[in-house]
Amino acid sequence: MTVSRRNLLRNAGIFGASTAVAGPAIAMSSKPAVDPLADKVIVDFGHGVASGDPLSDRVILWTRISPQINTATKVSWRICDDVEMQQEVNSGVITTDSKRDFTVKVDADGLLPNTWYYYQFSAGNKLSAIGRTKTAAETGLDRLRLAVVSCSSFPHDYFNV
């Protein structure tokens, strides 16, 4: 039996087209329904974490999430005595959305004066970096260090505080 080049290409095209059409239909009929977002990383903590405005019994904790979908997202936070995040002092859950630019700002209270603490945020199964913060002393400061940060974009000039 002799096969011409034209017949071979025509038959290959028909086979390829039928596979392209029938393949997904067969695959869809053999698999159960799956949540399309189940395998996506819903949030990312790419902006890091920060803390500030310390008082003797509380401190502000901050982060920003970058969600892949524009929806309200629950973010959990924890503040602990140890860097291993085992001895929890306080925790909570806050919901953020596009109205808040997906930022999270927490007033973590119930803390001891002049004490180092470690904190972390989570959303779903994604964890932020662990941050370190310190509460202010009640009285009797011997020394004080301040850090000042300012953003800049040289093509657009300085953005002084």
Contact 111, 90 (CB under 8 A): yes
Per-residue pLDDT of the chain (161 residues; tens, 9 = 90+): 566 666 666 666 665 555 555 555 544 544 555 544 444 546 788 889 999 999 999 999 999 998 888 888 899 999 999 999 999 999 999 999 999 999 999 999 999 999 999 999 999 889 999 999 999 988 877 777 777 766 666 676 666 55
Beta strands in 3-142 (DSSP E): 49-52, 58-64, 73-80, 88-96, 103-109, 116-123, 126-127, 131-134
Q: What are phi and psi of 18, to 5 degrees?
A: -70, -35
Residue 33 Cα distances to 25, 30, 150, angstroms: 13, 10, 50
Domain residue spans of the chain: 1-32, 52-135
Q: 0.85 exceeded by the pTM?
A: no
φ, ψ (nearest 5 deg) of residue 21: -80, -45
pLDDT of residue 39: 47
In CATH, the number for domain 52-135 is 2.60.40.380
Q: Which of 54, 66, 152, 161 is nearest to 104 (CA)?
A: 66
